[in-house]
Structure 1
Amino acid sequence: MEWQEKGYIQKLRNRYYYFSDQEVDEPFLYYTANELYHPSYVSLESALSRYGFIPEGVFQVTSCTTLKTNSFNTPVGRFTYRHLKPSLFFGYQLEEWNDHRYAMAGPEKTLIDYLYLHHEVKETADLEALRWNTVEINNRISMKTLNSYEAHINSPALSRRLTTLKTYLNATT
């Protein structure tokens, strides 16, 4: 409490603090997202932006978790978490930051997470409306990995959305 009163640390939420002189950059925010609510990994709009798949800036960190859907407003930003069933909690890697690690969805799992959680994406026009950078997606993803994840998940609804995505990606190359 004394450190907080002197301004050395600031409270993020219960039991979570950060040093006031800490640079608040993307890796710090990703690490913080993992720490505030775990298990979780950064995905969805945050990862789409990080990989250059969407043109917009993202003003919150979005993650996937096996816990209930939740969100937190903190002094450093908003953190949003979307629930996935435990069998879908894969496809992320640990990235290094300042002797710490945070979990980030790979490019293929980012696309799958988005399509899995956004049932409204059904046809090519829906994908066009998202304004995804198809050149960057085609350059960064492995179709072999995408197909492997699709087979592992074994969801007919997701497979339909992925087929639409693959058709859309092929049409724009």
Structure 2
Amino acid sequence: MKFADIVRLFGDKAWFDFEMVLLLSGEAPACVHTALYRLRESGKIIELRRGLFSLAEPWRHRGLGTGAAPAFAASLSSAIYPPSYLSGRWVLKRCGALESAIQSQDSLPEFSAVTARPAKVFENSFGRYSYATLPRDLLFGAMTELAGSERFRLAFPEKALLDLCFLEGGEWDKARFEAEGFGTGLRAGRLNLERLGAFAARAGRPRLARA
């Protein structure tokens, strides 16, 4: 398959995988592997994880360009390790409940997510994607957002806080919240306390209810 065909077929998609190219090209698997390897080495496609790719700029289009870069990078999270949804520190920083540390220009954006699958970490040119394992009964409280034409799932901020408290363990009191950088954001009313209480009750974990 020629690169022009890949752009035509996947230019408006956040990602595509080896199986898609194999099916649409009708070529032998070895030929597809070689073609994708050459495109990756030339910088025309980006490997998100083994067998999963995204077109590099300027071939990515239809609302998936640089202007939507943070949301686009976030939208890749669910595809990199499904099923999962963004949660924890990334969601809390996004909504302003948690103070963001100053990052150097060379550091990769950090995306935190949760899943029922084993914990994993993936790095690519869009960022570092960390997936923590939650019990299945705690995988609730997520919503869907759009990044260009792509949908992605993320926790409500209140559920992201509970996920963080559960995953990092221990007791969470006022001093610990402030030490972690939550003081200003929580005082500014970034979280819906009624929703937080409902999620804590549904979780059924006394430690989360105390937090």
Q: TM-score w.r.t. structure 2 length?
A: 0.69
Taking the TM superposition and a 5 Å limit, the aligned residue runs for 1:8-23 are: 8-21=44-57, 22=60, 23=65
**1:145 match:** 195
Tell me, yes or no, if structure 1 residue 66 matches structure 2 residue 116.
Answer: yes
**2:146 match:** 96
Q: Cα offset for 1:138? A: 4.9
**1:75 match:** 125
**1:41 match:** 85
Q: Cα offset for 1:140? A: 3.0
**2:164 match:** 114
Query: Matches of 2:97 and 2:118 in 1, distance apart?
Result: 27
Q: Cα offset for 1:26? A: 1.6
Query: Matches of 2:122 and 2:170 in 1, distance apart?
Result: 25
3-state SS of paired residue (2:73): helix
Structure 2 portions without partners, runs of 5+: 1-34, 104-108
3-state SS of paired residue (1:72): strand
Q: Cα offset for 1:115? A: 1.1
Larger Rg: 2
3-state SS of paired residue (2:118): coil
Change (3 A) 1:48 1:101: same
**1:126 match:** 176
**1:159 match:** 209
Deviates more, 1:71-80 or 1:49-58: 49-58
Query: Matches of 2:178 and 2:157 in 1, distance apart?
Result: 19
Query: Matches of 2:155 and 2:75 in 1, distance apart?
Result: 13
What amino acid maps onto 1:39 in structure 2?
A: P
**1:51 match:** 95
Q: Cα offset for 1:123? A: 2.5
What amino acid maps onto 1:100 in structure 2?
A: E
What amino acid maps onto 2:79 in structure 1?
A: E
Following superposition, which runs of at least 4 residues in structure 1 exceed 4 angstroms of deviation?
Answer: 135-138
CA contact (8 A) 1:63 1:81 kept: yes
